Amino acid sequence: MPTLPIPSAISMQGKRVLVTGAASGIGKATAIVLAELGAELVLCDLSAMDATRDEVQSRGATCATAQGDLTDGAFMASLFAGERLHAVAHCAGILMGRPWNEDANWNARFHRMMDVNVRVPLELAFAATEHMAAHGGGHIVLVGSVAGKTGGTSLSTPPDYSASKGAVHALVKWMSRNAVGRGVMVNAVAPGPVQTAMTRNSNMGPTLPLGRMGQPEELAWPIAFLCSSAASYMSGAILDVNGGAFVG
């Protein structure tokens, strides 16, 4: 039986990690946590990432940025054309808050949601698997949602968002079946309501078990764990990080 290196603490020293959605929210917090753990980072977002880059570099981490649209296949392919990536934390996604049945552009909105929240993580995870398998393995972490398990934390949760995140959970299981035998571990976190720009108008905090919404850093640490060798025997898991909002 092989002897496996079991870390005494989570470390990302010597590991290169791609973080998408890095300009803000969970992606930004994840990049900062990974920097604190010693990772070399590639930050990706549609928006400018100057603030995240500065925070990462202030922690002594090496950092590159790739600004672009992940729905563009050529841009996505470019992310895996360089040196080895040991992990990918895909935190990018969208939530359209306007009530779906009042949205005159519902059809276009639905397809946009599925494009960004379902097609992109599938193609990203597939490209990452091919890249990592050729370099000895790695870790892929996607971001689902408690809404993908429960249909939403409130009556205002849009059905297209819930459906897209349920699809992410299914994709994690499918990708794991196809990747784990090649040394690539595929997992996800399923956040409850988190205090980000997406949820800035939410007042559900007092109704939650802890009496508050989560903070991005409270998702970043579990994501970092799943990016690390501490999760060397985990694949196909959807890790609930919701402050007790859903137990099942």
Angle formed at CA 123 by CA 151 and CA 163, multiple of 5 degrees: 10
Q: Which residues are catalytic?
A: 161
* pLDDT at 53 > cutoff 90: yes
Neighbour count for residue 206 (Cβ, 10 Å)? 8
Please give the pLDDT value at position 201: 63
| CA–CA separation, 76 and 10 (whole Å) | 28
Tell me the pLDDT tens digit for each residue of 118-173.
999 999 999 999 999 999 999 999 999 999 999 887 778 899 999 999 999 999 99
| CA–CA separation, 93 and 152 (whole Å) | 16
- Rounded to an integer, the average pLDDT of 60-74 is 97
* Encoded amino acid at 108, one letter: A
Fold observed for domain 16-241? Rossmann fold (3.40.50)
* pLDDT at 228 > cutoff 70: yes
Instruction: Give me the residue spans of the domains in the chain.
Output: 16-241
Please give the pLDDT value at position 200: 66
SS3 5: coil
Largest alpha-carbon pair distance within the chain?
A: 60
* pLDDT at 9 > cutoff 90: no
Please give the pLDDT value at position 208: 80
Place of tokens 């552009």: 105
Per-residue b or e along 78-90, where b marks 16 or more CB atoms closer than 10 Å to that residue's CB: ebbeeeebbbbbb
